[in-house]
Amino acid sequence: MLSDFARTMVTDFSIQAILDELVGRIVEMLPVTAAGVTLISPGAEPRYVAASDGSALRFEQLQTDLGEGPCLAACQSNETISVPDLHAEGRFPTFTARALEAGLVAVFALPLRHRKHQLGALDLYRDSAGELNAEAMIAAQTLADVTTAYLVNAEARADLEESSRRYRHISLHDPLTGLPNRVLLMERLEQAILRSRRSALSAAALFIDLDQFKGVNDRYGHGVGDDVLVEVARRLSDVLRPGDTLARVSGDEFVAVCEEVTTVAQAEGLVARLDAALARPLVLPGSVELSISASVGVAFTGQDVVAEDVVDASDKAMYRAKQAGGARHEFLNARDRGIATYEAGLQRDLHGLLGRDELHLAYQPIVETADGHLTGVEALLRWRHPSRGLVMPSVLVPLAERAGEIPAIGKWVLEGASAEQDHWQHAYPVSDVTMSVNVSAQQLMSDGFVATVAAIVRARCSPPERLVLEMTESVSVQDGQRALALLNDLKELGVKLALDDFGTGYSSLSYLRQFPFDIVKIDQTFIAGLARDQASQIIVASTIQLAHELGLTVTAEGVETIEQHHELIRLGCDSCQGFYFARPMASAGIDTLIDPLGNGNHLPARTLAQIKR
């Protein structure tokens, strides 16, 4: 019997099953009619964990009810209590009377002990009087010890399970909000994808990013910021269903996974509920009311996606919502999903990019509208990817921003463009060609950007005013005050500032007055409409007029036809850039455009238009 039990010890046994087996076998082996195991724990009533039959259970129960009896005494005294004949027993009068009535005659209770701890007792019952002989007592004690070993083992196992459960909880949850973290989110999403494959009902992932949360931290401190996050987590959880998962994946970013959400309308309902939950003003210490909004990106699971793709896709959609000004939501459609997968691959390859010599710059001429003479170039970033071919900046820049690589890449662009300009200055001393470099909003806001530009400006031979930094209206979306201060700092360095893609943002013409721009570049969508629709004409004409009144010069982007060029001459636009004049080209192409004989940069538009890479 012992060897049977020894074997089960090393398997994944159920303690209840083992104890049931134990009490059953004891009755077969020893001259007793029933057996039971009672456990005690400090401050709690004794518990029976096993009984060989109904009578054993009743006797154990009787002792608990009465608070006396040999088994309890064994538990408490930690000694074996032998009652060979209850008729002659005086220690437990109430129990004895009731037990005799129920047909019990002899009881032997052996304490279960482990080191100094009493765990309970192994109780042997008989319906006839008589001692257990020494051999039987030794066997009983051995079995009691075995029982103890099982119990201690079970307890250790339960402790281990509990601590590994606790550890798992800690490692899978966000300590601040108690929500699942990214690891658990991915696990749950993976399961949701598996289920959705079986049910053919897709799940939706909602990427929720709070708008202007950084401002909350900056203004009220991180303690308040944390409180806001906890409250936001609570509100978002409240509107989700019990089976949904809400995770906090970083600072102010949450992801909700909602199963069986298959239509855009359903997802929109969900977003509306989340928005409404956030919309109620939050009261901060000092009765300050704060209203919160979020940018939400939605992506659905599909047949052949993995969790990573779905989260990336929702993240990408969120990013679009954010770019569009925040407090809105965007969906990722099938086409975008393909793009997202493509971009996920690129994202991985971004790592170490600057060390691999895969980036280069193309330069697109900017000419004077009136006579087509070359006045400047714009440096445009290109990534020659070894397997995916040429990656354009509209793809690369947002990826680099997300990966935190934009400050380094932007610095590389500024340095490369400056070196090229110095080369032209050196080779063609009369050259006064300006160099325009694009600066993304995140790059402008990144730590040390002004210092980086200052160092580059100092290291250049070309004068600072021939360096133009181009930025879009999005620079002021996050933190307009800070953007303004940074732009003023840049102006101090002597560089020129251009407002790029003007008209595509949501800000008004008053923008031109508030920010210290020198040049406004009218977006190509309006230039494309010039010869076609009156609205574009009016917008272009009034932008040129207003800019001139404010002392800014105007560049038209994306000039593709002679009609557009003529219209821009008529409207008095200062400069033009576009395929009609020249496409972006390698720097050697620009060399041939800058008059090598020192006669200035006068080249007719026709000539420029013919130079195509």
Binding site for ligand C2E (CB under 6 A): 364, 380-381, 392-394, 397, 410, 413, 438-440, 443, 470, 500-501, 524, 557-560, 577-579, 584
Provide the sign of the torsion angle of the four alpha carbons 57, 58, 64, 67, taken in this order.
Answer: negative
CB of 345 to ligand C2E, least distance (A): 20
CB of 382 to ligand C2E, least distance (A): 7
Residue 501 makes contact with Mg ion by CB under 5 A: yes
Which of ligand C2E, Mg ion, none sits in contact with 311, Cβ below 5 to 8 A by type?
Answer: none
C-beta of residue 517 within 8 angstroms of C-beta of residue 491:
no
Residue 259 makes contact with Mg ion by CB under 5 A: no
Element (H, E) at 544: helix 534-549
Which of ligand C2E, Mg ion, none sits in contact with 381, Cβ below 5 to 8 A by type?
Answer: ligand C2E
Q: Give the separation between CA 351 and CA 349, rounded to whole angstroms.
A: 5
Which of ligand C2E, Mg ion, none sits in contact with 478, Cβ below 5 to 8 A by type?
Answer: none
CB of 335 to ligand C2E, least distance (A): 19
The SS3 assignment for 369 reads: coil
Nearest CB to ligand C2E, comparing residues 180 and 584 = 584
Which of Mg ion, ligand C2E, none sits in contact with 434, Cβ below 5 to 8 A by type?
Answer: none
CB of 409 to Mg ion, least distance (A): 15
> According to CB under 5 A, which one of 52, 147, 421, 438 is a site residue for Mg ion?
438
**Alpha helices, DSSP H, located in 200-300:** 213-220, 222-239, 264-279
CA atoms in the 13 A half-sphere facing the CB of 604: 4
Which of Mg ion, ligand C2E, none sits in contact with 589, Cβ below 5 to 8 A by type?
Answer: none
CB of 580 to ligand C2E, least distance (A): 6
Which of ligand C2E, Mg ion, none sits in contact with 442, Cβ below 5 to 8 A by type?
Answer: none
CB of 502 to Mg ion, least distance (A): 8
Binding residues for Mg ion restricted to 541-560, rule: CB under 5 A: 557
The SS3 assignment for 210 reads: strand
Burial classification of residue 207, based on how many CB atoms lie within 10 Å of its CB (0-12 exposed, 13-18 middle, 19 or more buried): buried
Nearest CB to ligand C2E, comparing residues 36 and 503 = 503
CB of 475 to ligand C2E, least distance (A): 11
Give the DSSP letter string of 465-507. Answer: GGEEEEE-TTHHHHHHHHHHHHHHHHHHTT-EEEEEEETSSS-
Which of ligand C2E, Mg ion, none sits in contact with 512, Cβ below 5 to 8 A by type?
Answer: none
Element (H, E) at 108: strand 106-114
Selection from 236, 268, 238 nearest residue 255 by Cα: 236
Q: Give the separation between CA 244 and CA 192, rounded to whole angstroms.
A: 10
C-beta of residue 247 within 8 angstroms of C-beta of residue 185:
yes
Which of Mg ion, ligand C2E, none sits in contact with 36, Cβ below 5 to 8 A by type?
Answer: none
Q: Give the separation between CA 402 and CA 337, rounded to whole angstroms.
A: 17
Residue 470 makes contact with Mg ion by CB under 5 A: yes
Q: What is the phi/psi pair of residue 352, to 5°?
A: 75, 15
Residue 473 makes contact with Mg ion by CB under 5 A: no
Nearest CB to Mg ion, comparing residues 174 and 378 = 378
Residue 500 makes contact with Mg ion by CB under 5 A: yes
The SS3 assignment for 304 reads: coil
Nearest CB to ligand C2E, comparing residues 196 and 472 = 472
Nearest CB to ligand C2E, comparing residues 258 and 367 = 367
List residues near Mg ion by CB under 5 A.
Answer: 438, 470, 500-501, 557
